[in-house]
Structures are given as structure tokens and as C-alpha cells.
A and B are shown apart, each in its own frame.
Chain A
Amino acid sequence: MTDERIVAVTMPKWGLSMQLGKITGWIAAEGDDVSIGDELADIETEKIAGTLEAADAGTLRRIIARVGEDVPVSSTIALIAPAGVTDGDLDAAVAEARAVIDAGVPDEAAGGPAVEIAEVGGRKVCYVGTGQDGDVVLLVHGYGGDRNSWLFLQEPMAARYRVYALDLPGHGTSAKDVGDGSVETLADTVLGVLNAIGVQRAHLVGHSLGGAVALAATARDPLRVSSLTLIAPSGFGQEINAGYLRGFADAQTRRELKPVVGQLFADESLVTRQLVDDLLAYKRLDGVEAALHTLVGTLLDGDRQRTGSAAALAACGGEVPVTVVWGTADRIIPPAQAESVAGAARHLIDGAGHMPHMERPAEVQAAVEESIARAG
């Protein structure tokens, strides 16, 4: 029998489509005592690289997954156990875990949750939901992103909530026509998706332009929003990296796009070839370039950011609890603008760039869940 004191370290599922992860390096070694939050291993998925942190404390007794090996999500890659557990018991657990890794991804695992489609204002809007119970949380990505931007957040949060992520018009697999591209037009999409899901109230989480959009939706109808979490939201100050916004819209090749995308992250090595290729494939879809240029006009007035978010926040009337999350190393919108989000609970994430929900998902998740808890 397996000793109950053995705790499995498993391959995380970063995103709905992730089936395999590859350990690019073990940071912890066998025999190390680890605490919760300690970095265990660097892991690469086909989309992005990340660091796995310990979710349990104890001694790392066995490392099972080899560097460079493809490992199915949720299979055991290492074992944490106290000194009292015998080598025999550990070896049995290792053999069991090894068999699972060697078996690879089961065929029926292919796919992930189905994409749902709503029609809002004559436009096709795609969204994906996961999670069985609890409040509805709707995740709204930023300029140039899509529902997969939430890959590190949506799946973990689904344990406690029904978590939906949408593709704004002009993005992902939604219609590429953005109309006037205004924050208001995009906010219609958010409310339209809530209608399609069939909920009266939801918690909104918006990143960057998606933050301004979630805020505008809240201002429109505060009774429909239980809590609002804004991650590096746009529209709270004049300063913004206009070069990034235009560079992303204009980039035609991988060579042009990669350095632009690098600015999103504090650590540019997080940007994998696959991430750049996926963005390039998106940018090449008919209508996307025009949509992005329209949205640049929504965000910018010359080289300065249009500032409508503070007024939208005031229009919410203080009825909705608001949390703002910002990376201190954000190179797109300065984190100092967090000060302008009046009345919000503030979480500054030390050393994170403009994509804290990809760079430091555990901290962002904690902030979002705290925000949800404040709604009571």
C-alpha cells in the first residue's frame, strides 16, 4: 500500500489545451527540504515556459520526470515525503508514476471544453467555460490577447468557480470586425456573453484594455457585477508604451514581432517560438490587422493614452468592490497608475511585467479570489 505521507508533485495544467509539459530543468534536488512556494522546476509547454512552485512542504525524496521528457498533465513528476517513509514505499510510488508518464496522453483527453458561441450586436463572440459549481467569473483579455491568455488562471480557478473566458471582437476566434472599436462597443460583448451564459451577476476580471472594457460594462450596469478585478488596466493615466501598441499592430514577420511581444514580460525568455508563431498566425487572419489598428485608436490619442477609466470607475458608484493588480516591472502601462484606481484594493506584484497572470499566476489568482471574497 502507498504510504499516505507521500505527496505527489504533479505536472500542472496551464491552460485548457495543455496536454503535455516538458521539464527544462529541476531547480530543487532530491533531498532538498522545500516550503510552499519554493521553485521546484522550470517547465515548458508548447505555448509558454513557466516555473512550478511547491504546493506542499517537506523533503523532495524522489524526482521522477527527466529533463526534456514530455509528461502528460497531472501525472506525478516528483515525490515529497518525510524521512519516515521507507525507500521501498517510495520506489513503488515511483514505478507507478513512471508507468503513467510512459503511457503518454490518453486519446480521449484530446480537445478540452467546447467553445461556445454567442451573437452580440451581430458579431460572433466565442467563449469557453470550465468548472462545475460556484459563482461565475468572466475573464476579459487585453489588446492582442485572447481567451488563452488566461491559461494559467482559468483551470486552477475552476476548482471553486465557474470560470469563463471570452474572445473580444477582433481577437481569437470571434468575429474580426470591431465596429468603432470603442470601449463601449467591447463592453456590449461582455454583457452579451453574461446573457448567453444565462447569469444575472458575475465577477469580472479584465486585463489591460480588457480592464477598461470590464469597467465600462460595470459602469453600464453595476448590479450585474459582484466584483471587479483590474489587471494593469488601460485608461487610468496618459502614459503608455505607444511603440508597443503600434509595433504589435504593424509587425509582419516573426523577426519583427518577437521583440515587441518581449516587452510584455519582465523576463523575455518566457516568450517561446510557439507563442510568437501563434500570435503571428492570429495577426494574419483576414481583418485582424484592421481591428488592431482601430483598437490602437481606442487606446491612444497621439502617443498618449486616452483616459476614460477613472470616469467609468466613478460611474460605478462605489457599489462594486474593485481590486487592482499590477506588475512593478510593467513596460506597457506604468504601475504608478494603480494609484489612480480610486477606492480599489491594490496588489503590486514585485518584478512582474504587463502579464502578471502569465508571469505570476498564483499571486494573481490569490488577488482575484480575495476580490471575489470581498463581494461577500
Chain B
Amino acid sequence: MARTITYREAINEALAQEMERDESVIIMGEDNAGGEGSPGEMDAWGGVLGVTKGLYHKFPGRVLDTPISESAFIGAAIGAATAGMRPVAELMFVDFMGVCFDQIYNQAAKFRYMFGGKAVTPVVIRTMYGAGLRAAAQHSQCLYPLFTHVPGLKVVLPATPYDAKGLMTQAIRDNDPVMFFEHKALYDLAGPVPEESYALPFGEANVVREGGDVTIVALGRMVHTSLEAAEQLAAAGVECEVVDLRTTSPLDEDTVLESVENTGRLVVVDEAHPRCSMATDISALVARKAFGALRAPVEMVTAPHTPVPFSNTLEDIYIPDAQRVANAVKTVAEWMR
């Protein structure tokens, strides 16, 4: 039965239910059991923002507290996956991925291909992304385009508690390495989530709002920003269709193209930097495959090509907001040849 829980609780519930269901599921990461200033194991932090809280005692021996050495424990998780476990490793901030990048893109992502399909690597790497928490340039990035670029990785960005649980369940059951991106600013977002287990398939975008005038393609936190803009625009007589990609790899091209075939206008909203991003990727997709349907140039709403600023004022301007999305929608809606 669906009740209202948060995005954080939804991820925790998916982890708990999959650990219950399959004893090869284990959790690895920093500060799962103790943490800086804590007296020891009794004080379970459940990761830096408390997502895995409670699991350490519920599943004795299956929630592993690791040293602060990402290259070691991500490598260990990937190795365990090739040996029959289903590890879910928490890499705190995606910004730290650089120190264990070889393990991910040159090892885990390649095994199935290089061993002719005989090896599987069912590892999930959970990580936080996104600006808005005053965490500055080294703890606020949206690096999902880097991983989307690599064949062999699946890249998932849930926008709602319902999607977070269903996509995490699928991520754990999936036999390929999955990069699971959690937006820090969404953890307290509440929404209806069934108590029972369910898996949401990868590669299926979600049309979260229907409309016939302009298509907005968004992902992660930007889905909510786009919905806010769509609500304002509806009052002004512009009906937006908002498409949440849910996963960037695999990518549901059909839902994007079908929507643009219908509206003829596209705005892509992406919190990442503008170059080589999902915004450019979706723009290129539509320009190539739905060119005939386009009635206006594609607009992109993204962060600027700069690091995330430390200044509160600058950070607030940095993140795309509903006003910028609404302005872009108006631009494409009113565009005249």
C-alpha cells in the first residue's frame, strides 16, 4: 500500500527489501557504522546523509564500513560483484569519483564486453550530486554526463521517492554496473511509495505532465523546477509536456521524440554544465531525428560552464530555476521565423 515517505526513506526501503530478498546484497561505504566523533559501531550514522541508517544492525555483517579510500573499496565492490555478490557501494559525493575512475570506467564497464558476456558485474555505486547545499565546488557537481558517455555503465537519476525505490530495486537486480545518482536536495522530498517491492525498468522516461505546446525534457532535481515552471506557464496559457528521463543510459529516445513530434518545440533542462551534457545530447537527438517536427530552435537551460560557486548568492543564481525555464519556454513558444 502506498504511503508517503521521503526520497531518503524510499532508497533505504529498497535496500532493506533487496537485502531481505537476496543475501548476496551487501552495502559498503564510509561512515555506515561509526563516523567522526562517534563512539563506535553502536552509533550508526548510515552514511554521510543517513540514507542507509538502520541497516547496519538489521543485517549484521552485511553493511561494511570502509576506510576513506575510494579506489580500494569501489574496486573491492566491483571485484565482489564479479565473484557473485551484489554490492551496493556508497561513494558519498560524485565529486570524489576521480580517485576510483579506473575501477569504474575501465574495469567494471568493460568486463561483460571483454569476456564475451560470460562475466557479469552486478554492482551499484550510489552517489550524491548537485548544488544547493552550500557545499562548494568540490561537493556539488553533476557529473552524470561523464558516466553516461561510457558504454557498459547504466546511469540512473531518480526524481521522486516512487522512482527512487523502483529504480534502486532494479539497479540491485540488474546484472550490469549501475551508477545511481541521488540529488542531495531531494532527500527530504516526500511522496507516495508502495510498501511492496517493485522494479522500474531502465530506459523508460516518464511523462510527468502532459501538454501540447512545448516539450521540456528534464532529469533529477530539474524535473521539479520544470514542473514549477510548467505550472506558471499554464496560467499564462502555455501547456508544457514535461518528460523526466529517469535514466540517461539507457536513454528512452522514443518518448522524447514522440513528445517533440507532438509539440514541435523543445527546452532541455539540465543542472550539469552545458558542454557535452544531457542538454546537448538531447538537443542533438531531436535535431537529428525530429528535425522535421521542430517549429523553433531548441533551447537549453543549464548551469554555466564554471565550478559551483561558494558564495550563497552566486550559487543561487548558478542553479537553473523555474523563471529561467519559463523564459526559455516563452522563447521557443513565441519564436517566429
Contacts and interface: CB of A to CB of B under 8 A. Distances in A.
Interface of A: 115, 126, 173, 176, 252-255, 273, 281, 284-286
Contacts of A284: 166, 198-200
A281 B198 contact: yes
A227 B243 CA distance: 49
B207 A281 contact: no
Given A252-B201, A273-B210, A176 B196 contact: yes
Nearest to B210: A273
Contact of B198 (A126, A173, A253, A286): A286
B1 A126 contact: yes
Interface string B199-218: 11100100100100000000
A281 B163 CA distance: 10
B198 to A, nearest CB: 4
B207 A273 contact: yes
Contact of A115 (B1, B197, B201): B1
Contacts of B1: 115, 126, 173
A281 B197 CA distance: 11
B172 to A, nearest CB: 13
A228 B321 CA distance: 58
A90 B262 CA distance: 44
Given A115-B1, A273-B210, A286 B196 contact: yes
A273 B211 CA distance: 12
A173 B199 CA distance: 16
20 contacts: A115-B1, A126-B1, A173-B1, A173-B196, A176-B196, A252-B201, A253-B201, A254-B207, A255-B254, A273-B207, A281-B162, A281-B198, A284-B198, A284-B199, A285-B196, A285-B197, A285-B198, A286-B196, A286-B197, A286-B199
Contacts of A254: 204, 207
B194 interface: yes
A285 B2 CA distance: 11
Contacts of B197: 285-286
A285 B204 contact: no
A111 to B, nearest CB: 11
A175 to B, nearest CB: 10
A244 B313 CA distance: 57
Given A273-B210, A284-B198, A284-B199, 4 more contacts: A173-B196, A281-B162, A286-B197, A286-B199
Given A173-B1, A273-B207, A273-B210, A285 B201 contact: no
Contacts of B196: 173, 176, 285-286
Contacts of A286: 196-199
Nearest to A117: B1
Nearest to A174: B1
Nearest to A175: B196
Contacts of B200: 284
Contacts of B198: 281, 284-286
Contacts of A115: 1
A284 B204 CA distance: 13
Interface in B152-172: 162, 166
B256 to A, nearest CB: 13
A205 B196 CA distance: 28
A254 B1 CA distance: 21
Interface string B37-53: 00000000000000000
A28 to B, nearest CB: 26
The 8 closest A-B CB pairs, nearest first, are A173-B1, A286-B197, A284-B198, A285-B198, A285-B196, A253-B204, A273-B210, A286-B196
A284 B1 CA distance: 13
A254 B207 CA distance: 10
Contacts of B166: 284
Nearest to B194: A285
Interface in B173-227: 194, 196-201, 204, 207, 210
Contact of B194 (A126, A252, A273, A281): A281
Nearest to B204: A253
A134 B259 CA distance: 51
B40 to A, nearest CB: 37
Residue from A115, A176, A281 having most chain B Cβ neighbours under 10 A: A281
B203 to A, nearest CB: 10
A317 B76 CA distance: 70
Nearest to A277: B206
